[in-house]
Amino acid sequence: MENIKVLKGGEFLITESSAKDVFIPEEFNEEQKMILGMCQDFLKQEVHPYLERIDSMEPGLMRSLVAKSGEMGLLGISVPEEYGGFGQPFVTSMIASDELGAGYSYAVAFSAHTGIGTLPILYYGTEEQKQKYLPKLASGEWVGSYCLTEPNAGSDANSGRTKAVLSEDGKNYILNGQKMWITNGGFADVLTVFAKIDNDKILSAFIVDRNYPGITFNPEEKKLGIKGSSTVQIFFNDCVVPVENLLGKRGEGFRIALNILHIGRIKLGANVLGASRTAISESVKYANERKQFGNFISNFGAIKYKLGEQVIRMFAAETALYRTSKYVDDTISFNIANGMDRVKAYMDALGEYAMEAAILKVLGSEALDYIVDEAVQIHGGMGYSAEMAVERGYRDSRINRIFEGTNEINRLVATDTLLKHAKKCDSVVFGIGKSVFEQIDSNNESSTSYSDYFEKKHFYIRQLKKAVLLILNRAYDAVGKQFNIEQEIMMSISDMSIQAYAAESVVLRVEKLKSIKSEADFSVYADICDVHTYETSNKLFKAGMDAINSFAQNDEYIKLKKGLQQLTSIEPVNIKEARRRIANKLIEDNVYKF
């Protein structure tokens, strides 16, 4: 880790990073490439030939696929060796989630099992609980699920009514209540169930075996997409759970639920990448085969625009994901080197990057939604046919903006976490925003002072971050204690942060690629960087204006608008030609290969 600066959570807004400090997918090591290849082979052999059968919920099929993934070692990537896993770094587990994300409904079953289904026990279980459950979860002999949501408790998860009462002999908790939308619930053997003990205000967590008395499972839900993924309601009627199955301490359940969701969010940010790559590849293959007006449709500018844009959004989401994942790994290593036990080291690292996790979830799921939507559009009428892969991809994508915390909740989390950082180090975060505001009328710095390509890009990024801090500072000053209920403003600031993080991540990756790629191969990455910087600046300006129009008036409004214009203005770039060049590489490769 020498000479590498690992940013703390949210620090990206106040500290400048250099290319050498970020991890990029081109740096996967041999072992990681091997796991990536295993995941691709698994999908090719075991999943993709059977998509129809999976989506029709052929009895036993999904469960057998989870078991097969276990036999191949894919379920134990994050589980330490002493519990039957492989104890791989966080980045490696993200690579598996990314690649297997191309597995449609299977991806959801895999992700729920290895994430929310296994990790609560790994991070909060007693030694006995870990010994009992983890080896079987890692091998796929048992399947895991996570039961938090209830009919009246969704985003407000702590409001759940499922109740646990100690039996008279003190040996068991008696569980009563109802859970809904439980992924893998149709066949899971092990359920992490959140419930309140007696009249507690905060949830506790329990490990519940499927065969305990008093549990009933509803039939499978009929869904818009991910039709092959098991989703059921579960009822607990005097369900008897041994006291030793309490997970963590009494009243610790809500904290467990939230901490596991931080991981779930980053994992989702990885999952959507595999799905995005597939949809882009399907798009370009079709565009290269379909002729209209005597021309392949991939020759039309309107289609090139879509292909180029798909690539740019995918590239940005991927770049931000691996950048953050390596921060998590480095923070875990740092924590362990400083004497923290492994579990605490993990939890601390994942909590640290709560803001980035929320950003990745929103950025990735919205990139995928754009990509699958344009994939259908590129296919024209055929995109609407169930014969085409993009039809399934389109339907399956939609859930990603809903689960692991809706995108509204994640946007609020991102800004709320930023605000907490700001309050912790008031003079830095708010101080920058304040001084940017004061200098608006005297600011003469412009991109023309920089002749070097990347120096100019770094200047833009500094400006974008200043814009976020400017609006955060002025909005907080204007609405003060009302900030948390002025959600529209919080969402705008969140959008600004998302754009700033994505923009910086792309610039840093492309800068690093300059020393890896030949000049000829590099030029298309500069195109991605140019268009992405242009787009993020515009989106950030729009989000900033939405915020300003919501809280500023008169002279302050005029001054803030001027400041935002200064901070988001970039030199002209021919985005049409740049997008065409990006699309042309995709068209030539006939598959996503960036």
Ligand X SMILES: Cc1cc2nc3c(=O)[nH]c(=O)nc-3n(C[C@H](O)[C@H](O)[C@H](O)COP(=O)(O)OP(=O)(O)OC[C@H]3O[C@@H](n4cnc5c(N)ncnc54)[C@H](O)[C@@H]3O)c2cc1C
Interface residue with ligand X among 12, 142, 181, 501 (CB under 6 A) is 181
Q: Which is nearer to ligand X, 203 or 436 (CB)?
A: 203
Site string for ligand X, 334-353 (x = CB under 6 A): --------------------
* Integer Cα distance of 326 and 296 in angstroms: 41
Q: Does 408 bind ligand X (CB under 6 A)?
A: yes
* Integer Cα distance of 280 and 296 in angstroms: 17
Report the nearest approach of ligand X to the CB of residue 256 (Å). Answer: 12
**One-letter-per-residue 3-state SS of 292-331:** ECCEEHHHCHHHHHHHHHHHHHHHHHHHHHHHHHHHHHHH
Q: Which residues, listed in sequence order, are joined to residue 593 by a DSSP beta bridge?
A: none
Burial 344-354 (b: 16+ CB within 10 A, else e): ebbbebbbbbb
- Exposed, middle or buried, 575 (CB in 10 Å: 0-12/13-18/19+)? middle
When CB distances to ligand X are compared, the closest residue is 154
Report the nearest approach of ligand X to the CB of residue 203 (Å). Answer: 11
**Does 391 qualify as catalytic in the annotation?**
no
Among the listed ranges 53-61, 120-128, 179-187, 371-379, the one in contact with ligand X (CB under 6 A) is 179-187
Q: Does 297 bind ligand X (CB under 6 A)?
A: no
Q: Which is nearer to ligand X, 543 or 560 (CB)?
A: 543
- Binning the chain into helix, strand and coil, the percentages to the nearest 5 are 65, 10, 25
Report the nearest approach of ligand X to the CB of residue 313 (Å). Answer: 22
Footprint of ligand X on residues 382-401 (CB under 6 A)? Answer: 399
The Cα angle at residue 100 between residues 331 and 282, in degrees rounded to 5:
125
Q: Which is nearer to ligand X, 232 or 506 (CB)?
A: 232
Tokens 């900030």, located at residue: 483
Q: Which is nearer to ligand X, 1 or 402 (CB)?
A: 402
Q: Does 403 bind ligand X (CB under 6 A)?
A: yes
CB atoms within 10 A of CB 29: 10
> Which pair of tokens denotes residue 515?
């020393």
Q: Does 402 bind ligand X (CB under 6 A)?
A: yes
Dihedral of the alpha carbons of 352, 129, 404, 281, in degrees to the nearest 10: 100
Report the nearest approach of ligand X to the CB of residue 255 (Å). Answer: 16
Q: Which is nearer to ligand X, 281 or 415 (CB)?
A: 415
Residues 262/353, Cβ–Cβ less than 8 Å: yes
Q: Which is nearer to ligand X, 377 or 406 (CB)?
A: 406
Q: Which is nearer to ligand X, 403 or 525 (CB)?
A: 403
Q: Which is nearer to ligand X, 76 or 160 (CB)?
A: 160
Q: Considering CB under 6 A, how many residues would be counted as binding ligand X? A: 20
For the packed helices 519-551 and 575-589, what is the interaxial angle rounded to 10 degrees?
130
Question: 230 — alpha (psi -120 to 50), left (phi > 0) or beta?
Answer: beta
* Integer Cα distance of 347 and 335 in angstroms: 10
Residues 315/277, Cβ–Cβ less than 8 Å: no
Report the nearest approach of ligand X to the CB of residue 433 (Å). Answer: 25
Footprint of ligand X on residues 475-494 (CB under 6 A)? Answer: 487
Site string for ligand X, 132-151 (x = CB under 6 A): -------------xxxxx--
Site string for ligand X, 26-65 (x = CB under 6 A): ----------------------------------------
> Which pair of tokens denotes residue 536?
């993020």
Interface residue with ligand X among 45, 56, 155, 449 (CB under 6 A) is 155
Interface residue with ligand X among 39, 91, 234, 409 (CB under 6 A) is 409
Residues 87/126, Cβ–Cβ less than 8 Å: no
* Integer Cα distance of 513 and 367 in angstroms: 22
In 3-state terms, what secondary structure has residue 147? Answer: strand
* Integer Cα distance of 199 and 51 in angstroms: 46
Q: Which is nearer to ligand X, 138 or 399 (CB)?
A: 399
- What is the identity of the amino acid at 224? L
Tokens 């690629």, located at residue: 513
* Integer Cα distance of 507 and 532 in angstroms: 9
Residues 259/356, Cβ–Cβ less than 8 Å: no
Report the nearest approach of ligand X to the CB of residue 431 (Å). Answer: 30
Among the listed ranges 88-96, 180-188, 494-502, 552-560, the one in contact with ligand X (CB under 6 A) is 180-188
Residues 35/96, Cβ–Cβ less than 8 Å: yes
Q: Which is nearer to ligand X, 265 or 326 (CB)?
A: 265
* Integer Cα distance of 139 and 136 in angstroms: 5
Q: Which is nearer to ligand X, 172 or 178 (CB)?
A: 178
Question: Among candidates 69, 6, 66, which has minimal Cα distance to 41?
Answer: 69
Q: Does 231 bind ligand X (CB under 6 A)?
A: yes
Interface residue with ligand X among 22, 112, 358, 500 (CB under 6 A) is 112
Report the nearest approach of ligand X to the CB of residue 185 (Å). Answer: 7
Q: Which of 366, 404, 486, 511 is catalytic?
A: 404
- Which residues make Cβ contacts (< 8 Å) with residue 498, sequence separation at least 6? 359, 362, 363, 414
Question: Among candidates 80, 78, 83, 104, which has minimal Cα distance to 93?
Answer: 78
The residues that are catalytic are 404
Chain residues that interact with ligand X, rule: CB under 6 A: 112, 145-149, 154-155, 181-183, 223, 231, 399, 402-403, 406, 408-409, 487
